[in-house]
Structures are given as C-alpha cells and as structure tokens.
C-alpha cells in the first residue's frame, strides 16, 4: 500500500482540517449531552471577539465562531509544520510530539488567548470532567492529527 504524503501546504490543510473537525465535534458532543446547543457553542467562540453581544447575533455569530475555530486550527497546524521543517524529530516522532503539542495548544489557548479575548469562560480551575475532556481533546484530537499530518511531508528529492 502506498503511503500518503503531503507538501507543507497539504500538511497544514490536512492537519488543520482534521484537527479542527475532531476538536469541534468532540466539543459539540461533550456539551450536547449537557443540553447546550451547537449554535451556542459557536457563539461562545465568537464571543472572543464580540463579547456578550455574540449571543444576541444568532447565526451570524455562530458562523463567525466556526470561522474563528478553523482559523485557530490552521494557525496551529501552520506553526507546527513550520517548526517541523527545522526540527526533524517533530516529524519522525509524531505521537510523542503531537501529544506534547496538544498540551502546548491547551496552555496557550487557556492561559493566553482566552484571557486576552472578550470571552467569559469562568474561573480556573474548571470542574474535573471539563478539564479532563479539554485535555483529551487538545492532546489526542488536536495536537496528534496535526503532528501526524506533518509527519507525512514528503522528503525533498536528493540531487545527484
């Protein structure tokens, strides 16, 4: 069976898309069983830019939230691919470094991005189940797919 390979742009696209879809799907599932509708989740993402007004803007804010979610996903994928072009271990050991990258993504989002945004996501620490779910999502469903996509970047052909 032939191994699928990507160029850097393909790895960013594949990693960002898969990580973004897995991440938002898990978040939808986690909160759906607690009665929170999908549009409210997406509006909460949009609230990072719009503040509380996002919840009054309906579908427009939900669409903005989805766009912001994937913008973050592709940005993280691009950063990983860029660094992996210089640090070979990031591509040769994608499981270890993907899980570590997911942990880094969690820290950046939780302690840098969200506090600098207009979103109101409650106090730290969150309930244990929320923390466990968020860590699982970031490590396994976000960081790992990005690293696995980067590991599929084809080596440049050697010149004779």
- 50-94: pLDDT as tens digits: 999 999 999 999 999 999 999 999 999 999 999 999 999 999 999
Report how far residue 104's alpha carbon sits from residue 79's, in angstroms, rounded to the nearest whole number.
12
Query: Residue 158: which pLDDT band, with cuts at 50, 70 and 90?
Result: low
Q: Where are the domains of the chain?
A: 8-150
Mean pLDDT of 87-102: 97
pLDDT digits (tens, 9 = 90+) for 132-147: 999 999 999 999 999 9
149: which 2 tokens? 């996509």
Report how far residue 18's alpha carbon sits from residue 74's, in angstroms, rounded to the nearest whole number.
10
Of residues 117, 114, 111, 112, the one with CA closest to residue 50: 117
What burial class does residue 103 get, using C-beta atoms within 10 Å of its C-beta: 0-12 exposed, 13-18 middle, 19+ buried? middle
């Amino acid at each position: 069976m032939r191994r699928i390979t990507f160029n850097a742009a393909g790895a960013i696209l594949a990693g960002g898309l898969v990580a973004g879809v897995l991440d938002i799907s898990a978040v939808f599932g986690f909160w759906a069983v607690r009665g929170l509708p999908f549009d409210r989740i997406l509006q909460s993402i949009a609230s990072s830019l719009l503040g509380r007004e996002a919840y009054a803007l309906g579908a427009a804010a939900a669409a903005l939230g989805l766009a912001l979610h994937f913008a973050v996903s592709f940005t993280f994928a691009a950063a990983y691919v860029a660094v992996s072009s210089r640090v070979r271990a990031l591509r040769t050991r994608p499981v270890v470094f993907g899980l570590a990258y997911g942990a880094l993504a969690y820290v950046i989002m939780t302690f840098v991005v969200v506090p600098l945004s207009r979103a109101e996501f409650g106090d730290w620490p969150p309930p244990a189940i929320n923390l466990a779910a968020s860590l699982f999502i970031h490590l396994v469903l976000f960081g790992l797919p990005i690293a696995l996509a980067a590991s599929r970047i084809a080596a440049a052909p050697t010149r004779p």
